[in-house]
């Protein structure tokens, strides 16, 4: 009986700083965004696998959507690398967007060149959304076949 009392007394009479709120530093935003990309990547790969394996009919539109999911997973990897490189080369890598002059990127090594290429990520994300659209449209049209 005495031991719990002593533990309680020790806890009550030896206070320290209570850290009720966790602080959030600036870089956390980038890490959360990168984590979201990883989750999105896993989700898209899973979706592609499930759509390929599913027995949903008709097969072709679902395969098209699975291809869209694969492309979207590729876009995630692409964007992920883009964010990493942007963080590595810093803001100074890209020149400011002055309306008076055409902005440019100073290429100082392969990282900057790769970053330049990775900035063209719409070349991957747009076809992915296209495939999703075409797949869904075909599924919808198939479902309406034979309906009055």
Q: How far is the CB of 61 from another protein (least distance, A)?
A: 11
Q: Please, which of residues 120-139 interact with another protein by CB under 8 A? A: 120, 122-123, 125-126, 129-130, 132-133, 136-137, 139
Q: Say how far apart CA 117 and CA 112 lie, in whole Å.
A: 9
Q: Find, among 41, 78, 49, 76, the residue nearest to 65 by Cα.
A: 49
Q: How far is the CB of 27 from another protein (least distance, A)?
A: 12
Binding mask 4-33 for another protein (x = CB under 8 A): -------------------------x--xx
Using the minimum distance from each CB to another protein, give the nearer residue, 47 or 77: 47
Q: How far is the CB of 34 from another protein (least distance, A)?
A: 9
| 85 counts as binding another protein under rule CB under 8 A | no
For residues 93 and 115, the answer to whether their CB atoms sit within 8 Å is yes
Contact pick of 39, 60, 87, 88 for another protein (by CB under 8 A): 39
**How many residues sit in the footprint of another protein (CB under 8 A)?**
51
Q: Say how far apart CA 48 and CA 58 lie, in whole Å.
A: 16
For residues 81 and 110, the answer to whether their CB atoms sit within 8 Å is no
Q: Could you tell me the two tokens for 47?
A: 């979706």
3-class state of residue 94 by DSSP: strand
């Amino acid at each position: 009986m005495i031991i719990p009392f002593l533990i309680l007394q020790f806890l009550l009479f030896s206070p320290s700083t209570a850290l009720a709120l966790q602080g959030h530093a600036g870089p956390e935003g980038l890490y959360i965004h990168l984590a979201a990309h990883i989750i999105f990547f896993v989700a898209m790969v899973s979706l592609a696998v499930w759509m390929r394996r599913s027995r949903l009919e008709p097969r072709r539109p679902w395969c098209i959507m699975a291809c869209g999911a694969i492309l979207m997973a590729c876009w995630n990897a692409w964007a992920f690398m883009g964010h990493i490189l942007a963080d590595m080369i810093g803001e100074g890598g890209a020149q400011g967007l002055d309306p008076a002059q055409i902005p440019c990127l100073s290429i100082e090594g392969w990282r900057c060149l790769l970053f330049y290429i990775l900035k063209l990520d719409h070349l991957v994300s747009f076809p992915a959304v296209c495939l999703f659209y075409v797949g869904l449209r075909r599924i919808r049209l198939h479902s309406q076949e034979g309906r009055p």
